[in-house]
């Protein structure tokens, strides 16, 4: 129905009008042995989930809310690499379809002019130390106006429509993401993370800048040096001490 040019990503699409969260459905399908590349797309999520237990605002018809099931044969600690890979695939899709210049804020926020247009939530199904599946949840604000966002988001969020001044076809966007994701994922499986890391660094805004990384229990201020080969953020604080940050919110 989408007229796809991919071999596995998006070949098996579950399309829903309204769901609690596409992540929840993806977990169930992954458990039931859905093939790699299975995608769940919904027009609306009534309890869309963000990182760190936050909600993700997912109103009807204006966004892309989807979850993609991958089954890479990689060690557990490497799973965060796939979040960075997905971010590159989405940034490239936005560049392919618009003249906008999206940037990536580690680990996985996509910003345009400093405001968030996309969030990515990667979750794992693992048994012992083996990955069974990686579920990549992608939320993109495509066509809402700024008034469509709840007031508390209007300062920090944006949409492709708001930035471009024209509607963007959601199905074209989804198709580009599937194509880019499949290409990058195959490259990753062949050649490892290095080529992905180089692409990612080309879009990253946090690197080389003074930032604060906040987790639920802790916060570190320092300069972001780069990412490790596993996709972990390296920071050096004002005392010269190096920190490896696995998961946090970054303030620029």
Q: Which residues are annotated as a binding site for biotin?
A: 45, 49-51, 116
Beta strand 210-214 with 249-251 is antiparallel
For 30, residues 6+ apart whose C-beta sits below 8 A from its C-beta are: 38, 69, 125, 132, 133, 135
CA distance 5 to 226: 34
In the DSSP assignment, the letter for residue 108 is: T
**Positions 145 through 204 that interact with ligand BTN (CB under 6 A):** none
Q: Which is nearer to ligand BTN, 46 or 126 (CB)?
A: 46
Q: Which of 29, 34, 38, 65 binds ligand BTN (CB under 6 A)?
A: 65
Contact present, 169 and 161 (Cβ < 8 Å)? no
For residue 136, give the H/E element and its range: strand 130-141
Instruction: List the x/- string, 6-35, binding to ligand BTN by CB under 6 A.
Output: ---------------xxx------------
Q: How far is the CB of 55 from ligand BTN (least distance, A)?
A: 9
Ramachandran category for residue 103: left, alpha or beta (phi over 0 → left; psi -120 to 50 → alpha): beta
Contact present, 218 and 207 (Cβ < 8 Å)? no
Site size with ligand BTN, rule: CB under 6 A = 21
67 binds ligand BTN (CB under 6 A): yes
Q: Which of 9, 10, 38, 49 binds ligand BTN (CB under 6 A)?
A: 49
50 binds ligand BTN (CB under 6 A): yes
| Binding segment toward ligand BTN, per CB under 6 A, in 113-121, 143-151, 205-213, 229-237 | 113-121
Q: Which is nearer to ligand BTN, 112 or 138 (CB)?
A: 138
91 binds ligand BTN (CB under 6 A): no
Q: Which is nearer to ligand BTN, 68 or 184 (CB)?
A: 68
59 binds ligand BTN (CB under 6 A): no
244 binds ligand BTN (CB under 6 A): no
Q: How far is the CB of 38 from ligand BTN (least distance, A)?
A: 14
Q: Which is nearer to ligand BTN, 59 or 72 (CB)?
A: 59
Residue in the block written with tokens 């109103």: 59
The site for ligand BTN (CB under 6 A) is made up of 21-23, 45, 48-51, 54, 56, 58, 65-67, 109, 119-121, 137-139
């Amino acid at each position: 129905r989408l007229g796809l040019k991919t071999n596995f990503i998006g070949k098996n699409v579950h399309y829903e009008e309204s769901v609690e969260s596409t992540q929840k459905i993806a977990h169930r399908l992954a458990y039931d042995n859905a093939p790699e590349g299975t995608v769940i797309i919904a027009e609306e999520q009534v309890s869309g989930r963000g990182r760190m237990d936050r909600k993700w605002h997912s109103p009807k018809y204006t966004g892309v809310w989807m979850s993609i099931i991958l089954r890479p044969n990689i060690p557990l600690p490497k799973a965060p690499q796939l979040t960075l890979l997905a971010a590159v695939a989405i940034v490239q899709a936005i560049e392919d379809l618009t003249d906008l210049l999206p940037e990536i804020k580690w680990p996985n926020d996509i910003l345009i002019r400093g405001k968030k247009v996309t969030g990515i939530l990667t979750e794992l199904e693992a048994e012992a130390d083996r990955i069974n599946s990686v579920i990549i949840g992608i939320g993109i604000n495509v066509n809402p106006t700024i008034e469509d966002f709840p007031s508390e988001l209007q300062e920090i969020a944006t949409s492709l429509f708001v930035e471009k001044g024209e509607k963007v076809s959601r199905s074209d966007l989804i198709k580009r993401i599937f194509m880019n994701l499949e290409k990058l994922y195959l490259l990753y499986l062949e050649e490892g993370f290095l080529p992905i890391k180089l692409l990612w660094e080309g879009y990253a805004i946090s690197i080389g800048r003074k930032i604060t990384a906040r987790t639920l229990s802790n916060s570190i201020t320092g300069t972001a040096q780069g990412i490790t080969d596993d996709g972990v953020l390296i920071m050096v604080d004002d005392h010269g001490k190096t920190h490896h940050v696995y998961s946090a919110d970054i303030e620029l």
